[in-house]
Structure 1
Amino acid sequence: MVRVENLKKFFPVKRTIGEVLLRVPQRFVKAVDNISFTISKGETFGLVGESGSGKTTTGRLILRLIEPTAGNVYFEDINVTKLSKEELRKFRKNMQIIFQDPMAALNPYMKVGEAIKHGLEIHNIGKNTQERKLLVMKMLERVNLSPPEDFYYRYPHELSGGQRQRIVIARALILKPKFIVADEAIAMLDVSVRSQLLQLLIDLKTEFDLTFLFITHDLATTKYICDRIGVMYLGKIVEIGNFKEIYKDPLHPYTKALISAVPEPDPKKKKKKLMPEGEVPNPINPPPGCKFHPRCPYAMDICKEKEPVLKEIEGRLVACYLYQSQR
């Protein structure tokens, strides 16, 4: 359904002197640096990594909420990056997003029922205001906000964090999209509410025949919802594979470190810890070769000189010289 090819997003570095905004020449943050992957229809593809790895930027590039520096995004063989603004506006009902912070995603001066109905008005769905309101009421009830009449006329600040996130989910689903980017959709919620929202997303995926890009920094969450996982580090995808294979036998050293950091619920089980050395490098001036080599306990000379590419190893894709020819 979704095909990402050689996608890049470089943000120019800016600085302010007094009240004058200056653009620093030839300096960029390479937020997303030449990545490629596919998402099949009905699949939930997880994108994981530390903060600043480029996950959220990737999600927004796919939806073209921000413009790519280079590369292409195809949705059902339609090149989203080549659509005009008017074509994109009409096309958006196929691809929606659930933002991380529902309070920031909702207009504080707009009642939540109106916020959900707004998409129906933009895309001219429903015969009249009354029919659109009925559609919103049904969606509120579907995301377990009952009775819907109690929520339709409330403002975002009158709701709890979990209720606001359900509103954001309802707003994304009201247009009946085929593909949804869930950007840290449960990260800001209490643990008890997270499990409820995660189960809701799983149920909605089946009911509405959805395809998900599930973005998270919490690798433990992915095993409950994701079919495949892509691991990002400093704008690069370093490993892609079935979530069971990655959990059981991670290949890339960075993936090993992420897996080892997942808490083990059974205190009797001993898990080998792999702690990367040092801090994440400066994204404005990343290291040459493999971006992970300054922190990698297995780094070789070739890692410092030449950047590895994603290659198929044991049925998955890995960018690491431990499993590839060094030539």
Structure 2
Amino acid sequence: MTENTILKVQGLKKYFPLKRTVGEVLTRTPPKYVRAVDEINFEVKKGETLGLVGESGSGKTTTGRLITRLEDPTEGKILFKEKDISTLTKKELKHIRKEIQIIFQDPLAALNPHMRIGEAVMHPLEIHNIGKDHSERQKLVMEMLERVQLSPASEYYYRYPRDLSGGQRQRVVIARALILKPTFVVADEAVAMLDVSVRSQLLQLMINLKNDFDLTYLFITHDLATTKYICDRIAVMYLGKIIEVGNFEQIYTKPKHPYTQALISAVPEPDPKSKKRRIIPQGEVPSAVNIPTGCRFHPRCPYAKEICKIKEPILKNVENQEVACHLYDSEYEKSAV
């Protein structure tokens, strides 16, 4: 790990076993697995926001849950500040929880409906025994509610989640995530369920909080248009694999992978006179149980050649960005002749 790297993922896998039928058990049919995350590697630098994008089912959320250890990895390492946290016990993880937090997509599901807002935000302080008494913890909660623009805090402290709007509930979830003063935050579709106007306000709030608290974000989203406002670098996932990584400008102006090009073409243009060509991949995303051989995108790729069906591409440096595609291999050029 380099000095400014806060998180490094190496060979990370998460396979979910499918339940076998009685007949499959009796015939000793080998179990099948959903390969949600299938040997990915990436790193996040301190102070940056890395966007993790892709279609539904690409493995983005599972990656976030693995990093926060809400899921146990099948294989691989998760190095946080040079310490491997992939094998820590629940007791050992308690110390890491203060530094790594998550903002969930659905605030109504993330908050206990029977717990007042103040109690929900205070709960992490009680778990980690922060604050000498209730009044000190209450003061910390009030300050955090003000920081997420729930003002006056006293007006929201005794309310229940059902009494708030979607945007206000999401601010509560953000407050609860930041009350422990973490250094790394996974934002899992944090603004996906909000109206466009509220979404922009929440994105600006997250940027302000990042600067104020010196945070590092892993920003998970299916909406590439959102990443342009908050992300420094972008990693594109497809069917459990990272297929392209680059900075914001590279991904938006010079996407290398055909799948990334299709995602970028779907981003709406504010200029009504713009004649951007829309690229629509053919077919549906294959099953994560029966993954295609070779390149996982080849059944939907307009440039697929024979080598794409046989050999799986690996991430390699192409013009200062990483891409896993045979288009940039000499083997592809030979097969095209």
Q: Which runs of structure 1 show a deviation greater than 6 angstroms over 4 or more consecutive aligned residues?
A: none
Name which of 296, 313, 318 aligns with 2:323. Answer: 318
Check conservation: 1:13, 1:24, Cα contact below 8 A: no
Matched, 1:249 2:254: yes
Pairwise CA distance, 1:26: 2.2
In structure 2, distance between residues paired with 1:189 and 1:324: 42
Check conservation: 2:20, 2:31, Cα contact below 8 A: no
Q: Where does residue 157 of structure 1 map in the other structure? A: 162
Q: Where does residue 37 of structure 2 map in the other structure? A: 32
Matched, 1:206 2:211: yes
Question: What is the TM-score of this pair, normalised by structure 2?
Answer: 0.94
Q: Where does residue 117 of structure 2 map in the other structure? A: 112
Name which of 20, 45, 48 aligns with 2:50. Answer: 45
Q: Where does residue 67 of structure 1 map in the other structure? A: 72
Superposed, which structure 2 residues align to 1:1-327 within 5 Å?
Answer: 1-14=6-19, 25-326=30-331
The runs of 5 or more residues in structure 2 that have no matched partner are 1-5, 23-27, 333-337
Check conservation: 1:180, 1:213, Cα contact below 8 A: yes
In structure 1, distance between residues paired with 2:71 and 2:53: 20
Equivalent position SS for 1:135: helix
Equivalent position SS for 1:14: coil
Root-mean-square deviation over aligned CA pairs:
1.4
Pairwise CA distance, 1:275: 1.0
Pairwise CA distance, 1:84: 2.1
Pairwise CA distance, 1:24: 7.5
Pairwise CA distance, 1:87: 1.1
Check conservation: 1:241, 1:317, Cα contact below 8 A: yes
Check conservation: 1:12, 1:24, Cα contact below 8 A: no
Q: Where does residue 20 of structure 1 map in the other structure? A: none
Pairwise CA distance, 1:15: 5.8
Pairwise CA distance, 1:286: 1.2
In structure 2, distance between residues paired with 1:316 and 1:163: 38
Tell me the matched-pair count.
Answer: 323
One-letter amino acid of the structure 2 residue matched with residue 196 of structure 1 = Q
One-letter amino acid of the structure 1 residue matched with residue 82 of structure 2 = D
Check conservation: 1:8, 1:71, Cα contact below 8 A: yes
Pairwise CA distance, 1:158: 0.9
In structure 1, distance between residues paired with 2:274 and 2:114: 51
The runs of 5 or more residues in structure 1 that have no matched partner are 18-22
- Per mean C-alpha deviation after superposition, the further-off stretch among 270-279 and 215-224 is 270-279
In structure 2, distance between residues paired with 1:118 and 1:152: 13
In structure 1, distance between residues paired with 2:34 and 2:89: 27
Pairwise CA distance, 1:91: 1.5
In structure 1, distance between residues paired with 2:21 and 2:126: 41
Identity of aligned residues (%): 68
In structure 2, distance between residues paired with 1:264 and 1:81: 41
